[in-house]
Amino acid sequence: MTHVNDLATAFRDLHVPGSPLVLPNAWDAASARLVETAGAAAVATTSAGLAWALGAGDGDRLTRDQALGAVARIVDTVSVPVTADVESGYAEDAEGVADTVRAVLAAGAVGVNIEDARHAAGDPLRPVAEQAERIAAARGAADAAGVPLFVNARVDTYLRGAGEGAAERLALTLERAAAFLDAGADGVFVPGVVDPETVEALVAKVDGPLNVMAGPGAPPVARLAALGVARVSVGSGIAQAAHALVRGAARELLTEGTYGSLTGGLDFGEADALFSR
């Protein structure tokens, strides 16, 4: 447990507004090792990429055991801290979220993303009070275990198009962020927004480290750092790029009978050495 606590403390200390933690998200042991060897200070999982690797779609379609089994393999493969995207907690109620956090800690991860989206029919977002209860349960489970787990509360107002217009959407986001921080979250993750004006407003008004999700068309990391962002991740973006390469290479081989798409691949020995520590 001392080792896990050391990793958790180190991970927590990486969240510095203006000098953000940059997380190229991984989805399996190989991608995690590649991220680590590229120089990442920590590894974050992507729930979508992880689900695809296990033959499922994104959006709470995995079981807790499936998801955290994959997380455990990632933890066992790298030496840096790992934070797990656990979607909405793989549970129907707050106590179930607490069980998920206990399983996250057992897997050796030292951070979690917990989203407020609801993928079943009805309102696309959980009520604020209900989600705050789930965040509080996660915090309580980690505290009871004596691990300073970093709880990143994901607010999906922008991804889900909540609110009428920019001003209302920002207000809803800030309301949720404040409630989740009060419930015990350590940081706030607002995917779906990268325009500098909105990011600057979020940094100014969210009383905790802000995580944004970047990708093609987003400002570079240096610009996000200047706005005061504390964490930059890319979600399923790298997984999507990797899978596009697989599709392109397969199509070339099957239609043209050529191998150009394989140019630039990792040397076999280099790839195999990733797991020869």
| Whether pLDDT at 120 is above 90 | no
Write down the mean pLDDT value for the chain: 96
Q: State pLDDT tens for residues 121-164.
A: 668 999 999 999 999 999 999 999 999 999 999 999 999 999 88
| Whether pLDDT at 277 is above 70 | no
CB under 8 Å to 155, separation ≥6 — which residues?
116, 173, 176, 177, 180, 188, 189, 190
pLDDT band at 275 (very low <50, low <70, confident <90, very high): confident
The pLDDT assigned to 121 comes to: 64
- So what's the architecture of 2-235 in CATH? Alpha-Beta Barrel (3.20)
Q: State pLDDT tens for residues 4-32.
A: 999 999 999 999 999 999 999 999 999 99
The CA distance from 64 to 91, in Å, is 8
Tokens of 113: 């993303």
CB under 8 Å to 96, separation ≥6 — which residues?
89, 90
The pLDDT assigned to 119 comes to: 81
Q: What is the pTM of this model?
A: 0.95
